[in-house]
Chain A
Amino acid sequence: MSTGGQVADRASSGGRDLRLDHVTKRFGGFVAVDDLSLTIPSGSFFALLGPSGCGKTTTLRMVAGLEEPTEGSIHIGDDDVTFAKPYKRPVNTVFQSYALFPHLDIFENVAFGLRRRGAKDVRRQVEEALELVELAAMARRKPAQLSGGQQQRVALARAIVNRPAVLLLDEPLGALDLKLRRQMQVELKRIQTEVGLTFVHVTHDQEEAMTMADTIAVMNQGRVEQQGGPGELYESPATTFAANFLGQSNLIHAAVTGNQGADLLLDVQGHRLAMPVDRRNSGDDDLLIGVRPEKIRLNRADADGGERKPAGQGTDGKQNVLPGGVVTDASFTGVSTQYLVRMPWGQELMVFAQNLGVDGVVPPGTPVDLQWDPAHTFGLDGSADATAGVEHDEGVQPAPVG
């Protein structure tokens, strides 16, 4: 008798969305997941992105059935799986440590779920799955004989072969080196598109999330800060955390001075800047305006600089310009040069200049003006924490207060 149950037998994404409603998880006094509500559409590649300790893995485990929510419910399609045991859910997990069964060979590892559900035609399905991850030749080896990358692919095959409604991936690429990781990101995306399952991918690597996911939910301290497509999240972050965690942002205090057509007029340190009204994001008149480093152009203000753009221009074809900066650091990374520019009011701003081979590296000490298209500006609450989401050394985040 298949103990997978009827819920698992109907395993295929088949239009079933994953829905979390007001899910909360408390461990003693510590709130790991705080009133989380998410809908993950069937067949999408969804990423849960956040620093360690933000609750993303706990959320994943609740979907898998390895933890029970303290409050809230989880539905797959119409089925309430909130308290269902893991083996009764049409969910499979690719664990961070792969968790391959060391005493079984690769074939039996991949076949495990199929056998427990009493599936017919096990051999063909396993072989197909191994083909998909390009490990057909390893079928009879033991996990210990495989490299990290190969083990990861076996773990993936083992989960995928069951065609679950939801496939969970818990930082599966964490243990791989950079090149392999990039390779696997592409592979995973390809496989997901080919097989059409819902993937929920948990990661702290924002590049990874943006590369692979259709939709990203940025999590911080048990809550979702923002949810949306990679482009939307990147160009229009809704919180300082999202602005700093995804890529990097320059956040500058600005005062709203008025409107001009579709533009909001701002005053930054005495300079007049502009931004589109619909990117304001906050009712405050005291804003933090943000602009991504790669959107800024560095104009030399010394003798070699050429014609200087007048400071503080508005929009309609004109640029935002902040003058008076001095380059304090220039790091040539090959693809680009990353500059730190100290502004007259003390703040250091970041500028990334793509290596077009046109201008050389601007050396530290050079006076420069910063210039960018007002349409690239985004606004945030002026009272928000401008340092939220900035990565510390090696991912050592201060422990959440329990």
Chain B
Amino acid sequence: MSAVQGIGVGERQLGADGRPPRRTGRAGTRRTTPYLLLLPGMAWLAVFFVVPLFTLLSTSTQTRPEGAEIGVYTQTFRFANYVDTLEEYAVVFGRSFFYALIATLLALAISYPLAYAIAFKAGRWRNVLLVLVVAPFFVSFLLRTIAWKQILADDAWVADAMRFLHLIGPQTHIINSAPAVVIGITYNFLPFMILPIYASLERVDPRLIEAAGDLYANGLTALRKVTFPLSLPGVVAGTLLTFIPAAGDYINAALLGNRNTTMVGNVIDARFLKVVDYPTAAVLSVTLMASILVLVAFYIRRAGTEELV
């Protein structure tokens, strides 16, 4: 037996000419190919996503030197920036997460039955319905949000109907209020909730539900004990995909809200683009990002990273 054999896995016998056989590179095993393929895309993300996050971090600890012009800041590692800013905007943060949470729950409540209907009751119309779910989002979301402004206006039919049913008083506004903002946010992120849930439900083998029926479960019990647990990955994905952008949204608050419905996004926008107070904006952004990362970390610990992409 060749002396090579003792060397363990992967070593080959020497060829007839005494030289180790040339390592044949077939598709998928050549060493450099994957790295070359990854390089441009990941480099782009590294430079324009990862680095900016660090830039943000660095900006968050800067301060304006005495007498400097507007917009000029120097790095002073002032971590007290965080304390100051968060103290001032704690309420805004809380409100943002609160609105996002309500919106997410509402979206879940609205989306789950719809996704269920499409997955199980649609038959041949399934693809059509899926297109119809996504279709509204072919219209610019700004225009749709402005449409909500019109729909919920004081003199429009929704307000009139609600007043007629005595659900709201004659003086109450629906528009320019917190509920309007939440309605807007919910609406904006519906497909992000519907589609993952649908994808999950679609994978449920309908024979499992039949089996549940065979084992004496009625419709609701089957839903509770069989269908819903199986669709949980989709629900989790949808929840994350809705809550995270919702927390950072500011369009709905700007168009549909009032002075008291300011969200974190509005403040960051104002601080960055109008008041030119970069450190404060950076602190808020970093904090928002950090809270999101905590959520994502929870998710990863349970599911690993392969499922993410």
Contact = CB atoms under 8 A, between A and B. Distances in A.
Interface of A: 26, 28-29, 68-73, 80, 82-85
B9 A80 contact: no
B225 interface: no
Contacts of A70: 9-12
B33 to A, nearest CB: 15
Interface in B250-295: none
Contacts of A68: 24
B5 interface: yes
Max chain A Cβ within 10 angstroms of own Cβ: one of B5, B9, B11: B9
A7 to B, nearest CB: 14
Contacts of B55: none
Contacts of B5: 71
B26 interface: yes
Interface in B9-37: 9-13, 15-16, 21-22, 24, 26
A71 B13 contact: yes
A85 B24 CA distance: 8
Contacts of B12: 69-71
Contacts, number: 23
Contacts of B13: 71-73
Contacts of B15: 80
Q: Is the interface of A mostly helix, strand, loop or mixed?
A: loop
A85 B16 contact: no
Contacts of A82: 21
B10 A85 contact: no
Contacts of A69: 12
B9 A83 contact: no
Given A70-B10, A82-B21, A83-B22, 14 more contacts: A26-B9, A28-B9, A29-B9, A68-B24, A69-B12, A70-B9, A70-B11, A71-B5, A71-B12, A71-B13, A80-B15, A80-B16, A83-B21, A83-B24
A85 B21 contact: no
B193 to A, nearest CB: 33
Among the interface residues A72, A80, A82, A84, which one has the most CB atoms of the partner chain B within 10 A?
Answer: A82
B34 to A, nearest CB: 19
A73 B13 CA distance: 9
A182 to B, nearest CB: 31
B280 to A, nearest CB: 55
A134 B15 CA distance: 45
Contacts of A26: 9
23 contacts: A26-B9, A28-B9, A29-B9, A68-B24, A69-B12, A70-B9, A70-B10, A70-B11, A70-B12, A71-B5, A71-B12, A71-B13, A72-B13, A73-B13, A80-B15, A80-B16, A82-B21, A83-B21, A83-B22, A83-B24, A84-B24, A85-B24, A85-B26
Pairs of residues from A and B, 10 with the lowest C-beta to C-beta distance, nearest first: A71-B13, A83-B24, A83-B21, A26-B9, A85-B26, A85-B24, A28-B9, A71-B12, A72-B13, A70-B12
A259 to B, nearest CB: 40
Contacts of A80: 15-16
